[in-house]
C-alpha cells in the first residue's frame, strides 16, 4: 500500500510541475490541477469518495463569496437573469439534448431528458471563479452567466427527484415535491435569521478579541454551518452557503470575511479541480479519443448555439448573448452527481456514461481558454463593438490620474476643465444616457456602478492621485468612500455634500468636504461685491 504522505508529495510536485510553466504562458492553474488529477488517478489508488467530499467544500466557499457580492436587493434586480434566462436555458437545452439521446442512442425518453438536464448544467466553480478573478462578473454577460448558474444549482434538485421516482416506482411524486418545496422555504427563513442575527453576533464577538485565529474560526464556522443547514433541509451545500453570503453582504464585516476566506477557497478549489482529473481513465480515452473529441466539440457548439439563440431574443446586444453562450457551453460539476446515479442504478450503458464523464471533464479544460479569449471569440461572430461594449467599464492603465464619480452637470464640467488643463482623468456614471453624451463630447467617461468594489479596482484606484465624488446620494456616497479607502487608504477624496448633516458621515482625514450650499452662497456674495451698475443694468466683472 502506498504511503498517504507519498501521494500528497506527488500531488504537490505534479501540480507545481504543471503550473509553473503554465503560468509563464498565462494558462490558468485550473488546467494544471486537472492534469495532476489525471496522472495521480492512473498511478495511485485513491479513495475518491473522501476526496470528493473535501473538494465539494471548494464550491461551498466559492458560492459563499459570490453571495457576499450579491445583496438581496441586487439579487432581486436579477430576477430576469435567474428565473427567466435560467429557466429557459434549463428547459430548452435539456429538452433538445433529451430528444437527441432518445433518437440517436435509443434511450428511454425519461432517461434521455435526465441526461439532457445533466448536459444543460454548466460549471459554477470554473466560470464564477474566472469571472471573479477577471473582474467580469459585474458586466452584462457576467450577470447573465451568474443568473443562469444560480438557477442551474436550484434545478439539480428536481432532476435528482426525477431519478428517485424512476428508480423507486412506489415513490409518491406529490409528497417528494412538497417535501422539497418545504425544505427550500424553510432554508430561506432559517438562513435569513442565521445570517441576520446569529452569524453577525458570533463574528462581532470574535472581532472584539483582536485575534486573527479566532476571527478566522468564526468565519469558517459561519460558512460550514450555513452549508450544513441547507443539507439538513435536503438541498445542496452550495445553495445554503450562497444564501448566507448574500445576507452577510449587508453587514460591515463583508470585506473582512472576504479577505479571510480567499486562501481557503483557492486551496479547496484546487482540490476540487484535482478531483475532476481523477475521473479520467487514460486507457479509455486513448481507445475512444476521436469519438470523445467529436462529442465534446459537438455538445459544446450545440449548447452554445442554443443559449445564444435564446438570449439573442431577450438581450439587447448580440455580443452579450455570444459571450454568455460560449462561457456556459461546458458541462458542469453537478452533472457528475447525475451521471453517478445513472451508473449506480444501471440506467445508461456503461461505455456511453464513461464517455459523457470524459466529455464533461474535457469541456471544463477548454473553459478557461474560452473565458481568456472571450472578446476575440465575440469579434469572430460580431464585428460591431460600438453598439454596447464601448460603454462597459474597462481597466484604467494610467497612473496619477483623477477619478470623477458622477458624470452629471458638475462632473461633466470638472471633466471639461481637466481636459483643458491636460490632467489625466477617468469619469464613471451608472446612467447610460449620460455616458453616451460624454463619449460624444470626447470625454473619458465609462459606464459602471462606482459602489461596486470590483469596478472601482478597474479604475486603478491604488495609483490614482485623487477622487472627486459629485453624487449627492448619502448612502451611496458613504459606500463608495468606504470602498475607495479600502482599496487605497492614502487616497485623497473630494466630496460634494448638500448640508452640514451629511458631513457627520465622513470623518476620515483623507476626505475633503465641499458644502454645496455654503460654497454657492459665498460665490454669490463674491459676485455681488464685484457687481457694477451701468445705465441701470447689472454687469458682472
Summarize pLDDT for 474-515 with one digit per residue, the tens.
Answer: 556 777 888 888 888 888 888 877 655 455 555 556 678 777
Give the span between the Cα atoms of 2 and 40, in whole angstroms. Answer: 12
Summarize pLDDT for 237-261 with one digit per residue, the tens.
Answer: 877 888 888 888 777 777 678 777 7
CATH number, domain 395-539: 3.40.50.720
529's grid cell = 461685491
Question: Do the two domains 47-381 and 395-539 of this chain adopt the same fold?
Answer: no
CATH classification of 47-381 is 1.20.1530.20, yes or no?
yes
DSSP character string of 95-157:
HHHHHHHHHHS---HHHHHHHHHHHH---HHHHHHHHHHTT-TTSHHHHHHHHHHHHHHHHHH
CA distances from 289 to 27, 83, 179, 371 (A): 23, 38, 43, 25
pLDDT at 396 over 50: no
**pLDDT at residue 499 in the model:** 59
Residue range 386-406: average pLDDT?
A: 62
Residue tagged 462578473 (cell numbers): 137
Phi first, then psi, for residue 402 (nearest 5°) are: -105, 135
Residue range 321-350: average pLDDT?
A: 89
Give the span between the Cα atoms of 18 and 145, in whole angstroms. Answer: 29
Residue tagged 478573478 (cell numbers): 133
pLDDT at 96 over 90: yes
Q: Where are the domains of the chain?
A: 47-381, 395-539
* Closest C-alpha to 353, from 155, 46, 105: 105
What is the band of 36 on the pLDDT scale with cuts at 50, 70, 90?
A: confident
**pLDDT at residue 421 in the model:** 85
Pick the range with the lowest mean pLDDT from 299-308, 359-368, 428-437.
428-437
Pick the range with the lowest mean pLDDT from 123-127, 193-197, 289-293, 475-479.
475-479
Residue range 13-18: average pLDDT?
A: 87
Of these ranges, 5-19, 71-85, 284-298, the one predicted with the greatest mean pLDDT is 284-298
Instruction: Name the more confident of 179 and 232.
Output: 232
Residue range 27-37: average pLDDT?
A: 82
**pLDDT at residue 398 in the model:** 60
**pLDDT at residue 14 in the model:** 85
Q: Report the percent of the chain where pLDDT is more than 70.
A: 85
pLDDT at 540 over 60: no
Residue range 338-346: average pLDDT?
A: 84
Residue range 164-191: average pLDDT?
A: 76
**pLDDT at residue 1 in the model:** 59
Cβ-in-10-Å burial (0-12, 13-18, 19+) of 366 comes to: middle
* Closest C-alpha to 375, from 45, 67, 134: 134
Residue range 63-79: average pLDDT?
A: 73
What is the band of 2 on the pLDDT scale with cuts at 50, 70, 90?
A: low
Q: Rounded to a whole number, what is the largest CA-CA distance in the chain?
A: 107
* Closest C-alpha to 261, from 195, 216, 225, 213: 216
* Closest C-alpha to 61, from 278, 287, 301, 221: 221
Cβ contact 257:195 at 8 Å? no
For the chain, give the mean pLDDT. 81
Pick the range with the lowest mean pLDDT from 35-44, 155-164, 165-174, 325-334.
165-174
What is the band of 533 on the pLDDT scale with cuts at 50, 70, 90?
A: very low
Give the span between the Cα atoms of 491 and 306, in whole angstroms. Answer: 47
CA distances from 31 to 27, 262, 372 (A): 7, 20, 13
Give the span between the Cα atoms of 143 and 317, in whole angstroms. Answer: 14
Of these ranges, 120-129, 136-145, 271-280, 517-526, the one predicted with the greatest mean pLDDT is 120-129
The alpha carbon of 3 is separated from its chain's Cα centroid by a whole number of angstroms, namely 39
Instruction: Name the more confident of 277 and 293.
Output: 293
Residue 332 DSSP class: P
The C-alpha angle with vertex 13 and arms to 12 and 16, in degrees rounded to 5, equals 85
pLDDT at 339 over 60: yes
Question: Which residues are bridge partners to 512 per DSSP?
Answer: 494
Instruction: Name the more confident of 322 and 384.
Output: 322
Give the span between the Cα atoms of 116 and 477, in whole angstroms. Answer: 47
Instruction: Name the more confident of 339 and 61.
Output: 339
Give the span between the Cα atoms of 306 and 329, in whole angstroms. Answer: 9
**pLDDT at residue 97 in the model:** 96
Instruction: Name the more confident of 384 and 471.
Output: 471
Amino acid at each position: 500500500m502506498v504511503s498517504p504522505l507519498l501521494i500528497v508529495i506527488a500531488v504537490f510536485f505534479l501540480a507545481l510541475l504543471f503550473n509553473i510553466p503554465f503560468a509563464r504562458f498565462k494558462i490558468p492553474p485550473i488546467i494544471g490541477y486537472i492534469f495532476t488529477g489525471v496522472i495521480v488517478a492512473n498511478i495511485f489508488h485513491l479513495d475518491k469518495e473522501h476526496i470528493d467530499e473535501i473538494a465539494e467544500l471548494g464550491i461551498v466557499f466559492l458560492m459563499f463569496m459570490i453571495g457576499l457580492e450579491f445583496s438581496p436587493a441586487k439579487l432581486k434586480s436579477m430576477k430576469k437573469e435567474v428565473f427567466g434566462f435560467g429557466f429557459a436555458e434549463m428547459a430548452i437545452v435539456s429538452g433538445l439534448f433529451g430528444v437527441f439521446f432518445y433518437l440517436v442512442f435509443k434511450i428511454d425518453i425519461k432517461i434521455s431528458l435526465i441526461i439532457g438536464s445533466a448536459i444543460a448544467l454548466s460549471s459554477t466553480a470554473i466560470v464564477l471563479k474566472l469571472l471573479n478573478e477577471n473582474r467580469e462578473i459585474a458586466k452584462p454577460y457576467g450577470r447573465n452567466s451568474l443568473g443562469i448558474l444560480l438557477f442551474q444549482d436550484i434545478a439539480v434538485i428536481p432532476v435528482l427527484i426525477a431519478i428517485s421516482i424512476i428508480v423507486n416506482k412506489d415513490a409518491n411524486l406529490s409528497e417528494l415535491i412538497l417535501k422539497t418545496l418545504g425544505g427550500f422555504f424553510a432554508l430561506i427563513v432559517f438562513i435569513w435569521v442565521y445570517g441576520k442575527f446569529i452569524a453577525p453576533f458570533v463574528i462581532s464577538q470574535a472581532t472584539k478579541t483582536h485575534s486573527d485565529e479566532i476571527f478566522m474560526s468564526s468565519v469558517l464556522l459561519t460558512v460550514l454551518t450555513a452549508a450544513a443547514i441547507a443539507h439538513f433541509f435536503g438541498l445542496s451545500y452550495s445553495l445554503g452557503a450562497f444564501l448566507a453570503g448574500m445576507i452577510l453582504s449587508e453587514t460591515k464585516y463583508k470585506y473582512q470575511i472576504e479577505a479571510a476566506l480567499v486562501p481557503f477557497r483557492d486551496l479547496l478549489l484546487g482540490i476540487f479541480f484535482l478531483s475532476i482529473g481523477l475521473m479520467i481513465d487514460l486507457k479509455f480515452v486513448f481507445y475512444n479519443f476521436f469519438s470523445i473529441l467529436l462529442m465534446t466539440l459537438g455538445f459544446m457548439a450545440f449548447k452554445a448555439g442554443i443559449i445564444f439563440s435564446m438570449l439573442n431574443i431577450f438581450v439587447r446586444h448580440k455580443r452579450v448573448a455570444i459571450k454568455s453562450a460560449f462561457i456556459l457551453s461546458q458541462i458542469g460539476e453537478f452533472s457528475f452527481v447525475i451521471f453517478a446515479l445513472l451508473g449506480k442504478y444501471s440506467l445508461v450503458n456503461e461505455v456511453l456514461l464513461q464517455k459523457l464523464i470524459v466529455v464533461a471533464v474535457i469541456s471544463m479544460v477548454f473553459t478557461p481558454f474560452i473565458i481568456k479569449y472571450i472578446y476575440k471569440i465575440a469579434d469572430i461572430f460580431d464585428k460591431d463593438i460600438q453598439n454596447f461594449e464601448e460603454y462597459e467599464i474597462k481597466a484604467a492603465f494610467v497612473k496619477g490620474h483623477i477619478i470623477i464619480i458622477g458624470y452629471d452637470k458638475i462632473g461633466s464640467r470638472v471633466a471639461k476643465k481637466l481636459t483643458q488643463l491636460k490632467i489625466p482623468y477617468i469619469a464613471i456614471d451608472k446612467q447610460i444616457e449620460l455616458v453616451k453624451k460624454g463619449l460624444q463630447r470626447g470625454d473619458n467617461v465609462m459606464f459602471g456602478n462606482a459602489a461596486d468594489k470590483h469596478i472601482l479596482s478597474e479604475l486603478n484606484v491604488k495609483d490614482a492621485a485623487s477622487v472627486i465624488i459629485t453624487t449627492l446620494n448619502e448612502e451611496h456616497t458613504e459606500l463608495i468612500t468606504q470602498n475607495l479607502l479600502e482599496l487605497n487608504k492614502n487616497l485623497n477624496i473630494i466630496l460634494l455634500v448638500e448640508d452640514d448633516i451629511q458631513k457627520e458621515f465622513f470623518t476620515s482625514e483623507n476626505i475633503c468636504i465641499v458644502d454645496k450650499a455654503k460654497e454657492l452662497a459665498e460665490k454669490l456674495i463674491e459676485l455681488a461685491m464685484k457687481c457694477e451698475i451701468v445705465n441701470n443694468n447689472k454687469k458682472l466683472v
